[in-house]
Amino acid sequence: MRTKALYHTWEMGCYVSMDIFSLLPDDAPVTSDEMRNDALVKRLRVLLHAFPLFALGQSDTRRDESLRHYDTLTIALKILDIVAERMGMEFEADREYVDFALSSLLEAMDRKAGLVPDKGRHLQIVDRVLAALKNDADARRPFRLPYTQIEPDGAIVQRQIEFRLIQDAFNLNGETVMHLTNEAVNLYFNALELDLEDSQAATEAIVHSQMCRGKFDEARRSAHFAVRQSRLYCDRLRRVLRDTQRDISRVDWVEGAPKLIDEAMNHIDVRLDVERNIIVTASERLEALVPGTPESISVARVYAAIQYCIETHTVLQRELMTARTTFLDSQAQQAFVSGQISAMPDLMREVVEPMMAMQTLQVLEIVDKTVPYLMAPKIPTQLSLPSLFDGLLRPRRAPKRDWIDIEMLDASHYAGELAKYSEEDRNVSEHLLRSIVERTTLSDLLAYARARRFTSTQCEIIILLVMQHFDIESTETPIVRVEKANTLVVDAEYFGDEVWITPASSRPRAQTP
């Protein structure tokens, strides 16, 4: 006789209670104890991934007194957010960008504690948080945490989970940047037991619901969250293709990769349908709203973000369509490659980490034997009198400066740049600037213009007009006032410092000394 178990869930807004065992045949091998044990182990492993963050938050009271006012748990989550925001972009997050993106948050924490913001103190706290996320205390090895698992026969087994949160990687230019690991992505974006595909579907459903209910500001935040999820999802699939091109033996093309590609194609088809529906809803809302209002700007940002998701998924769909061709080409290219050459070791996990655990004498012995084989032959140099004579007579080099002269911005030449555009395009762009009624950013203005079907030429004119009005010494009557912001432009085509745009008729803000 089977024990009754009730399963409670939310279905279409209604609370439903059902007997899950009534859905199973009488001879089903599943038992309630097995289901509880599997769920227990899964939740336990998920929670263990957050242990480094909890340990970081508990260490706030054990730091130097000058650093105790910083909330390191908030800083750690902000770093994960920053790294995820830039993953897959042309300019990914490196240490310098992380310091810049955290500056406003750290300054706010300083002001709340009654302290004057200090860059040196900011660097110290960011160093400590990054060290905790990368596990510097254990030579950047994976976090290793034990947990208890209950076997089907009731036996208690001690197991260990290994994972990383942030790791260093190289971008296309060979520079060191930060990437989130799969564990960090699942921890930060996937609501514990929810995988990335389900989380993406849930986020876009939330965006569509918020747009229909008129919650435009919440929809804007959800849409930006959907953009980050799209980038991470694309990066995960493209990693399979990159690994195939580098070493086909790293990818399971018998079952794993084909199944992953088929599921991804179905997932992308559904996502594109949902995203097009959101675009239609956003267009209808824009037609009904007054241009320049906060509501219309939020809807325009939603439109731009979801349009970016559509373009990202469309490109990924084309890449997945040719994935099997990539596999066949890689197989043909690597067919005659020696197995010893193709099976390259994992330098960090299989070489660096074991050597970090050795004694110095053992490491020196290994390095002395292996390094000569990794270095190219070097021919000993001989004295050359002509070369010495030329070197002594060569003019002295100018000393290398460690500073850069800052030149004041001369925006007067941008007026001449506008002359090459048609008068109709200039009038349309100038009319948009004159219609601004509230303080807004250049990113919001560009997003609103694209949502209103402005051409790329008209968007360029908007940029030039804004830069022309940034000239504080101009004698012309200004249309708007422009002042620099402490963030970067969020746009698919333009990159640079963000600026605030204010109607010329409004009173200027009070300047902080």
HEC per residue, 328-382: HHHHHHHCCCCHHHHCCCCHHHHHHHHHHCCCHHHHHHHHHHHHHHHCCCCCCCC
pLDDT-based confidence at 4, cuts 50/70/90? Answer: very low
The contacts found for 272-278 with CB under 8 angstroms, 24 or more apart, are: 272/310, 272/313, 272/314, 272/317, 274/201, 274/204, 274/205, 274/208, 275/204, 275/306, 275/309, 275/310, 275/313, 276/310, 277/208, 278/204, 278/207, 278/208, 278/211, 278/302, 278/306
Lowest mean pLDDT among 339-348, 393-402, 453-462, 482-491: 339-348
- Convert the pLDDT of each residue in 214-239 to its tens digit: 888 888 888 887 887 788 788 878 88
Tell me what the mean pLDDT of segment 148-176 comes to: 82
- The C-alpha atoms of residue 153 and residue 155 are separated, in whole angstroms, by 6
- Residue 103 tokens read as 């500056």
- Convert the pLDDT of each residue in 385-420 to its tens digit: 888 888 888 887 777 766 666 666 555 555 566 777
Ranked by mean pLDDT, the top range of 30-34, 158-162, 339-343, 377-381 is: 158-162
Ranked by mean pLDDT, the top range of 174-183, 292-301, 410-419 is: 292-301
Percent of the chain whose predicted confidence (pLDDT) is above 70: 81
- The C-alpha atoms of residue 232 and residue 220 are separated, in whole angstroms, by 19
- Residue 129 tokens read as 């948080």
- The C-alpha atoms of residue 420 and residue 412 are separated, in whole angstroms, by 15
Tell me what the mean pLDDT of segment 417-428 comes to: 81
- Residue 268 tokens read as 């992308």
Tell me what the mean pLDDT of segment 485-512 comes to: 72
What local confidence, expressed as pLDDT, does residue 9 receive?
32
Answer yes or no: is pLDDT of 188 > 70: no
pLDDT-based confidence at 18, cuts 50/70/90? Answer: very low
Better-scored residue on pLDDT, 509 or 366: 366
Share the mean pLDDT of the chain: 78
What local confidence, expressed as pLDDT, does residue 163 receive?
85
* Alpha-carbon separation of residue 163 from 182, 187, 318 (angstroms): 9, 11, 32
Burial of 120 (0-12, 13-18, 19+ CB in 10 A): exposed
Answer yes or no: is pLDDT of 7 > 70: no
Lowest mean pLDDT among 80-84, 107-111, 246-250: 246-250
